[in-house]
Amino acid sequence: MKRISSYLLIAGCVVASFCIGAWHDATYAQVVQVTPVPARVFSGQDMGFKMTGRRGNVPVGVVVVRIDNEWVEVDATTGAKLITR
């Protein structure tokens, strides 16, 4: 009987620590909303960044390239690759 109550006490402490951790993350998480701005392209000759909003002081947008005098969003593959000769 003592062994079962010890296991229940340990399990209760584990569950309580998870609940406290989840509560801590939920109360201290700060989500900064994106403020929309009129779309604007900051660019070089054929490549640029189309800013569509701001998250605090950080610009939010997409990378674009110029094709036939039109700015087109880039669909890049994810991940880093080692470039070798």
- Predicted confidence (pLDDT) at residue 7 exceeds the cutoff of 80: no
Burial class for 62, CB neighbours closer than 10 Å (0-12, 13-18, 19+): middle
What average pLDDT does this structure show over 51-67?
Answer: 90
Spatial CA neighbour of 59 closest among 44, 41, 72, 79? 41
Residue-wise pLDDT tens digits, 20-30: 666 555 555 56
The pTM score is: 0.52
pLDDT for 10 equals 75
Domain boundaries, the chain: 1-30, 35-73
